[in-house]
Amino acid sequence: MAKTWILEIVKYAQPSTMKGRTDVNSVTNWNAPLVWEGTFDPVVIDAIYKKMDPRVAVVVFAVGKYTRFLKGFLESGEKFFLVDFRVTYYVFTDNEQDVPKIKLGEGRKISVITVPSASRWQDVVLGRMKWATITIDKQIRNEADYLYMMDIDSVFRNRFGAESLSQLSAVLHRGYSQNTKRDLFPYERRPQSTAFIPYGEGDYYYTAAVWGGYLEDMYKLVNYCYMQSLVDADNKIEAVWQEESHLNKYFLHNKPTKVLSPEYLWADYDVVPGHVKVVRISQIVKNYAEVRPNGGN
Ligand code: UDP
Protein backbone atom coordinates (compact mmCIF):
# COMPACT_ATOMS: atom_id res chain seq x y z
CA MET A 1 0.00 0.00 0.00
CA ALA A 2 1.32 3.45 -0.90
CA LYS A 3 1.44 4.86 2.58
CA THR A 4 2.96 8.25 1.85
CA TRP A 5 0.22 8.73 -0.70
CA ILE A 6 -2.42 7.99 1.94
CA LEU A 7 -0.86 10.52 4.29
CA GLU A 8 -0.84 13.19 1.62
CA ILE A 9 -4.43 12.55 0.62
CA VAL A 10 -5.59 12.74 4.20
CA LYS A 11 -3.52 15.83 4.94
CA TYR A 12 -4.94 17.71 2.02
CA ALA A 13 -8.44 16.34 2.37
CA GLN A 14 -8.74 17.35 5.98
CA PRO A 15 -9.28 21.14 5.83
CA SER A 16 -12.21 20.79 3.46
CA THR A 17 -13.77 18.06 5.60
CA MET A 18 -13.24 19.92 8.86
CA LYS A 19 -16.12 21.57 10.57
CA GLY A 20 -15.82 24.03 13.38
CA ARG A 21 -15.39 23.61 17.13
CA THR A 22 -14.44 26.68 19.10
CA ASP A 23 -14.68 25.20 22.60
CA VAL A 24 -11.74 22.78 22.18
CA ASN A 25 -8.37 22.74 20.40
CA SER A 26 -8.58 20.80 17.16
CA VAL A 27 -4.88 20.98 16.34
CA THR A 28 -1.77 20.34 18.45
CA ASN A 29 1.11 22.80 18.68
CA TRP A 30 3.07 20.58 16.26
CA ASN A 31 0.18 20.86 13.78
CA ALA A 32 -1.27 17.37 14.12
CA PRO A 33 -5.07 17.04 14.04
CA LEU A 34 -6.69 16.75 17.47
CA VAL A 35 -9.88 14.87 16.71
CA TRP A 36 -13.18 15.77 18.34
CA GLU A 37 -16.76 15.18 17.26
CA GLY A 38 -17.61 18.06 14.95
CA THR A 39 -14.09 18.45 13.51
CA PHE A 40 -14.46 15.94 10.67
CA ASP A 41 -17.02 14.66 8.21
CA PRO A 42 -17.47 10.95 8.98
CA VAL A 43 -18.78 10.04 5.53
CA VAL A 44 -15.99 11.81 3.65
CA ILE A 45 -13.18 10.53 5.87
CA ASP A 46 -14.40 6.92 5.75
CA ALA A 47 -14.69 7.14 1.96
CA ILE A 48 -11.10 8.42 1.64
CA TYR A 49 -9.68 5.53 3.67
CA LYS A 50 -12.05 2.97 2.19
CA LYS A 51 -10.39 3.54 -1.20
CA MET A 52 -7.24 1.96 0.26
CA ASP A 53 -9.29 -0.80 1.92
CA PRO A 54 -6.73 -1.20 4.73
CA ARG A 55 -6.50 -4.31 6.90
CA VAL A 56 -6.79 -3.31 10.54
CA ALA A 57 -5.53 -5.45 13.42
CA VAL A 58 -6.90 -4.97 16.93
CA VAL A 59 -4.74 -6.55 19.62
CA VAL A 60 -6.53 -7.27 22.90
CA PHE A 61 -5.52 -9.36 25.90
CA ALA A 62 -8.03 -11.33 27.95
CA VAL A 63 -6.01 -13.22 30.54
CA GLY A 64 -7.48 -14.85 33.66
CA LYS A 65 -10.88 -13.46 34.54
CA TYR A 66 -10.72 -10.77 31.86
CA THR A 67 -12.24 -13.18 29.31
CA ARG A 68 -15.62 -12.05 30.72
CA PHE A 69 -15.13 -8.73 28.90
CA LEU A 70 -14.66 -10.25 25.45
CA LYS A 71 -18.34 -10.57 24.48
CA GLY A 72 -19.24 -6.93 25.19
CA PHE A 73 -16.10 -5.61 23.54
CA LEU A 74 -16.37 -7.69 20.38
CA GLU A 75 -20.13 -7.34 19.89
CA SER A 76 -20.00 -3.57 20.33
CA GLY A 77 -16.91 -3.40 18.09
CA GLU A 78 -18.95 -5.01 15.34
CA LYS A 79 -21.53 -2.26 15.70
CA PHE A 80 -19.22 0.74 15.91
CA PHE A 81 -15.55 0.05 15.11
CA LEU A 82 -14.49 0.79 11.54
CA VAL A 83 -17.71 -0.65 10.19
CA ASP A 84 -17.33 -1.98 6.61
CA PHE A 85 -13.53 -2.08 6.96
CA ARG A 86 -11.44 -5.25 7.14
CA VAL A 87 -10.74 -5.91 10.82
CA THR A 88 -9.08 -8.82 12.63
CA TYR A 89 -9.34 -8.99 16.40
CA TYR A 90 -6.26 -10.75 17.79
CA VAL A 91 -7.38 -12.14 21.12
CA PHE A 92 -4.45 -13.09 23.37
CA THR A 93 -5.68 -15.36 26.13
CA ASP A 94 -4.73 -18.18 28.50
CA ASN A 95 -8.20 -19.63 28.15
CA GLU A 96 -9.14 -20.30 24.54
CA GLN A 97 -12.42 -22.03 25.34
CA ASP A 98 -13.76 -18.86 26.94
CA VAL A 99 -13.50 -16.84 23.72
CA PRO A 100 -17.14 -16.34 22.74
CA LYS A 101 -18.49 -17.05 19.27
CA ILE A 102 -19.53 -13.67 17.90
CA LYS A 103 -21.36 -12.94 14.67
CA LEU A 104 -18.88 -10.91 12.64
CA GLY A 105 -19.40 -8.63 9.64
CA GLU A 106 -17.99 -9.41 6.22
CA GLY A 107 -14.19 -9.24 6.04
CA ARG A 108 -13.88 -9.43 9.82
CA LYS A 109 -12.20 -12.19 11.83
CA ILE A 110 -11.09 -13.29 15.26
CA SER A 111 -7.66 -14.84 15.65
CA VAL A 112 -6.91 -16.46 19.02
CA ILE A 113 -3.34 -16.50 20.38
CA THR A 114 -2.45 -18.49 23.46
CA VAL A 115 -0.33 -16.81 26.13
CA PRO A 116 0.63 -17.99 29.62
CA SER A 117 -1.35 -17.10 32.75
CA ALA A 118 0.18 -14.67 35.22
CA SER A 119 0.02 -14.20 38.96
CA ARG A 120 0.46 -10.39 38.92
CA TRP A 121 -1.76 -8.06 36.88
CA GLN A 122 1.31 -5.89 36.27
CA ASP A 123 2.89 -8.85 34.46
CA VAL A 124 -0.14 -9.24 32.16
CA VAL A 125 -0.22 -5.53 31.41
CA LEU A 126 3.50 -5.24 30.63
CA GLY A 127 3.66 -8.74 29.14
CA ARG A 128 1.40 -7.43 26.38
CA MET A 129 4.42 -5.64 24.92
CA LYS A 130 6.42 -8.86 24.78
CA TRP A 131 3.69 -11.06 23.31
CA ALA A 132 2.55 -8.41 20.85
CA THR A 133 6.15 -7.91 19.65
CA ILE A 134 6.59 -11.64 19.11
CA THR A 135 3.23 -12.09 17.38
CA ILE A 136 3.52 -9.05 15.11
CA ASP A 137 6.90 -10.43 14.02
CA LYS A 138 5.62 -13.94 13.44
CA GLN A 139 2.13 -13.38 12.12
CA ILE A 140 0.39 -10.01 12.17
CA ARG A 141 2.97 -8.24 9.99
CA ASN A 142 1.76 -10.28 7.00
CA GLU A 143 -1.92 -9.71 7.75
CA ALA A 144 -2.41 -6.00 8.59
CA ASP A 145 -1.64 -2.44 7.47
CA TYR A 146 -2.76 -0.71 10.68
CA LEU A 147 -2.68 -1.97 14.23
CA TYR A 148 -4.53 -0.90 17.34
CA MET A 149 -3.68 -1.93 20.90
CA MET A 150 -6.74 -1.81 23.16
CA ASP A 151 -7.79 -2.74 26.69
CA ILE A 152 -10.53 -5.36 26.81
CA ASP A 153 -12.54 -4.07 29.78
CA SER A 154 -14.46 -1.60 27.65
CA VAL A 155 -17.29 -1.29 25.15
CA PHE A 156 -17.82 0.76 22.01
CA ARG A 157 -20.76 3.12 22.41
CA ASN A 158 -20.55 5.17 19.21
CA ARG A 159 -18.79 5.40 15.88
CA PHE A 160 -15.00 4.87 15.98
CA GLY A 161 -14.12 5.36 12.34
CA ALA A 162 -11.36 6.14 9.87
CA GLU A 163 -10.83 9.60 11.35
CA SER A 164 -8.83 7.76 14.03
CA LEU A 165 -6.28 6.34 11.60
CA SER A 166 -2.83 7.82 11.04
CA GLN A 167 0.83 6.86 11.18
CA LEU A 168 0.68 7.00 15.00
CA SER A 169 -2.50 8.01 16.83
CA ALA A 170 -2.61 8.53 20.59
CA VAL A 171 -5.61 9.17 22.84
CA LEU A 172 -5.66 11.87 25.52
CA HIS A 173 -6.20 10.34 28.95
CA ARG A 174 -9.57 11.58 30.17
CA GLY A 175 -8.23 12.37 33.63
CA TYR A 176 -5.59 14.84 32.45
CA SER A 177 -6.99 16.21 29.20
CA GLN A 178 -8.59 19.50 30.15
CA ASN A 179 -6.36 22.28 31.49
CA THR A 180 -4.15 19.94 33.53
CA LYS A 181 -0.73 21.49 34.17
CA ARG A 182 1.96 19.24 32.73
CA ASP A 183 3.68 18.87 36.09
CA LEU A 184 0.57 17.08 37.34
CA PHE A 185 0.76 14.43 34.60
CA PRO A 186 1.51 11.02 36.16
CA TYR A 187 4.66 10.54 34.09
CA GLU A 188 7.45 8.39 35.52
CA ARG A 189 9.40 10.84 37.69
CA ARG A 190 12.17 8.56 38.96
CA PRO A 191 15.38 9.08 36.96
CA GLN A 192 16.30 5.39 37.53
CA SER A 193 13.58 4.33 35.07
CA THR A 194 14.02 4.61 31.30
CA ALA A 195 10.52 6.14 31.23
CA PHE A 196 11.70 9.16 33.26
CA ILE A 197 10.30 12.54 32.18
CA PRO A 198 11.49 15.55 34.18
CA TYR A 199 9.10 18.22 35.42
CA GLY A 200 8.62 21.02 32.93
CA GLU A 201 8.49 18.65 29.94
CA GLY A 202 5.71 16.91 28.01
CA ASP A 203 2.76 17.91 25.84
CA TYR A 204 -0.07 15.65 26.95
CA TYR A 205 -0.71 12.56 29.02
CA TYR A 206 -1.78 9.72 26.75
CA THR A 207 -3.62 6.55 27.75
CA ALA A 208 -2.19 3.13 26.90
CA ALA A 209 -5.69 1.65 26.74
CA VAL A 210 -6.18 2.70 23.08
CA TRP A 211 -3.37 3.51 20.64
CA GLY A 212 -2.81 2.73 17.01
CA GLY A 213 -1.07 3.44 13.74
CA TYR A 214 0.74 1.96 10.78
CA LEU A 215 1.75 -1.62 11.46
CA GLU A 216 5.50 -0.93 11.32
CA ASP A 217 5.33 2.23 13.43
CA MET A 218 3.29 0.39 16.03
CA TYR A 219 5.71 -2.52 15.96
CA LYS A 220 8.58 -0.12 16.66
CA LEU A 221 6.70 1.46 19.55
CA VAL A 222 5.45 -1.79 21.11
CA ASN A 223 8.96 -3.23 20.85
CA TYR A 224 10.37 -0.02 22.37
CA CYS A 225 8.08 -0.38 25.40
CA TYR A 226 9.11 -4.03 25.74
CA MET A 227 12.85 -3.26 25.51
CA GLN A 228 12.64 -0.33 27.95
CA SER A 229 10.76 -2.51 30.43
CA LEU A 230 13.55 -5.12 30.21
CA VAL A 231 16.21 -2.48 30.95
CA ASP A 232 14.11 -1.28 33.89
CA ALA A 233 13.70 -4.86 35.16
CA ASP A 234 17.49 -5.27 35.06
CA ASN A 235 17.71 -2.16 37.20
CA LYS A 236 15.04 -3.51 39.55
CA ILE A 237 12.49 -0.86 38.73
CA GLU A 238 9.04 -1.02 37.11
CA ALA A 239 7.70 2.18 35.55
CA VAL A 240 4.88 3.70 37.58
CA TRP A 241 2.18 2.99 34.95
CA GLN A 242 3.97 0.13 33.18
CA GLU A 243 3.87 0.45 29.36
CA GLU A 244 1.82 3.66 29.59
CA SER A 245 4.86 5.37 31.13
CA HIS A 246 7.12 4.14 28.29
CA LEU A 247 4.53 5.16 25.71
CA ASN A 248 4.42 8.69 27.11
CA LYS A 249 8.22 8.85 27.07
CA TYR A 250 8.30 7.79 23.41
CA PHE A 251 5.71 10.40 22.44
CA LEU A 252 7.73 13.11 24.15
CA HIS A 253 10.38 12.74 21.43
CA ASN A 254 8.29 11.23 18.62
CA LYS A 255 5.09 13.23 18.40
CA PRO A 256 1.89 11.39 17.43
CA THR A 257 0.71 12.26 13.91
CA LYS A 258 -2.85 12.43 15.22
CA VAL A 259 -4.17 13.00 18.72
CA LEU A 260 -7.59 11.63 19.59
CA SER A 261 -9.75 13.35 22.17
CA PRO A 262 -10.97 11.49 25.29
CA GLU A 263 -14.12 10.63 23.29
CA TYR A 264 -12.00 7.71 22.10
CA LEU A 265 -11.67 6.39 25.63
CA TRP A 266 -13.97 7.57 28.36
CA ALA A 267 -15.02 5.55 31.43
CA ASP A 268 -18.31 4.68 33.08
CA TYR A 269 -16.69 5.77 36.36
CA ASP A 270 -16.85 9.45 35.36
CA VAL A 271 -19.57 11.94 34.43
CA VAL A 272 -19.30 12.97 30.78
CA PRO A 273 -18.52 16.71 30.59
CA GLY A 274 -20.24 19.02 28.09
CA HIS A 275 -17.31 19.30 25.70
CA VAL A 276 -17.28 15.50 25.21
CA LYS A 277 -20.19 15.29 22.77
CA VAL A 278 -19.81 11.60 22.03
CA VAL A 279 -18.32 8.69 23.96
CA ARG A 280 -16.87 6.25 21.44
CA ILE A 281 -15.36 3.72 23.83
CA SER A 282 -16.05 3.54 27.54
CA GLN A 283 -14.20 1.53 30.15
CA ILE A 284 -16.72 -0.39 32.16
CA VAL A 285 -16.79 -0.44 35.94
CA LYS A 286 -15.02 -3.50 37.30
CA ASN A 287 -14.29 -4.90 40.70
CA TYR A 288 -10.48 -4.76 40.68
CA ALA A 289 -10.10 -7.03 43.69
CA GLU A 290 -12.27 -9.66 42.00
CA VAL A 291 -10.90 -9.69 38.43
CA ARG A 292 -7.18 -9.20 38.99
CA PRO A 293 -5.06 -12.22 40.00
CA ASN A 294 -3.36 -10.24 42.76
CA GLY A 295 -6.36 -7.98 43.47
CA GLY A 296 -6.48 -4.29 44.22
CA ASN A 297 -5.23 -1.21 42.47
N1 UDP B 1 -5.43 -7.71 31.57
C2 UDP B 1 -5.82 -9.05 31.51
N3 UDP B 1 -5.80 -9.80 32.65
C4 UDP B 1 -5.41 -9.28 33.86
C5 UDP B 1 -5.05 -7.92 33.92
C6 UDP B 1 -5.08 -7.16 32.77
O7 UDP B 1 -6.17 -9.56 30.43
O8 UDP B 1 -5.42 -10.02 34.85
C9 UDP B 1 -5.41 -6.92 30.32
C10 UDP B 1 -6.81 -6.54 29.83
O11 UDP B 1 -6.79 -6.43 28.43
C12 UDP B 1 -7.02 -5.18 30.45
C13 UDP B 1 -5.63 -4.60 30.33
O14 UDP B 1 -4.74 -5.69 30.52
O15 UDP B 1 -8.01 -4.45 29.78
C16 UDP B 1 -5.30 -3.47 31.29
O17 UDP B 1 -5.49 -3.89 32.62
P18 UDP B 1 -6.57 -3.21 33.57
O19 UDP B 1 -7.83 -3.02 32.82
O20 UDP B 1 -6.65 -4.00 34.83
O21 UDP B 1 -5.88 -1.80 33.85
P22 UDP B 1 -6.60 -0.45 34.25
O23 UDP B 1 -6.88 0.25 32.96
O24 UDP B 1 -7.87 -0.75 35.01
O25 UDP B 1 -5.57 0.26 35.07
Query: What are the backbone angles phi and psi of residue 211, rounded to the nearest 5°?
Result: -155, 150
| Spacing, Cα 285 to ligand 1 middle (Å) | 12
Per the residue annotation, which of 37, 163, 244, 263 is the catalytic one? 244
Average pLDDT, the chain: 93
The answer to whether residue 222 sits within a structural domain is no
The answer to whether residue 151 sits within a structural domain is yes
Taking Cα atoms as reference points, which of 45, 113, 111, 112 lies closest to residue 82? 45
Residue 244: active-site member: yes
The answer to whether residue 142 sits within a structural domain is yes
Other CB atoms within 10 Å distance of the CB of residue 127: 21
- Write out pLDDT tens, residues 220-272: 999 999 999 999 999 999 999 999 999 999 999 999 999 999 999 999 999 99
- Write out pLDDT tens, residues 202-211: 999 999 999 9
Mark 192-203 as b/e (b = at least 16 C-beta within 10 Å).
ebbbebeeeebb
The answer to whether residue 193 sits within a structural domain is no
| Spacing, Cα 45 to ligand 1 middle (Å) | 32
Q: Is the CB of 70 under 6 A from ligand 1?
A: no
- Beta-sheet strand order (sheet of 108-114): 34-35, 258-260, 168-172, 206-214, 146-150, 55-62, 86-93, 108-114
CA gap 118, 131 in Å, rounded: 13
Indicate which CATH number applies to the domain containing 72.
3.90.550.10
The answer to whether residue 121 sits within a structural domain is yes
pTM over 0.75: yes
Q: Is the CB of 61 under 6 A from ligand 1?
A: yes
- The range of the structural domain enclosing residue 136 comes to 3-15+33-181+204-215+255-291
- Beta-sheet strand order (sheet of 281-283): 154-156, 281-283, 266-267
Does the pLDDT of residue 127 top 50, yes or no?
yes
3-state SS, residue 73: helix
Ligand 1 atom closest to the Cα of residue 125 is 14
The answer to whether residue 105 sits within a structural domain is yes
Q: What is the model's pLDDT at position 135?
A: 98
Total domains in the chain come to 1
The answer to whether residue 129 sits within a structural domain is yes
Ligand 1 atom closest to the Cα of residue 291 is 8
| Spacing, Cα 128 to ligand 1 middle (Å) | 10
The answer to whether residue 23 sits within a structural domain is no
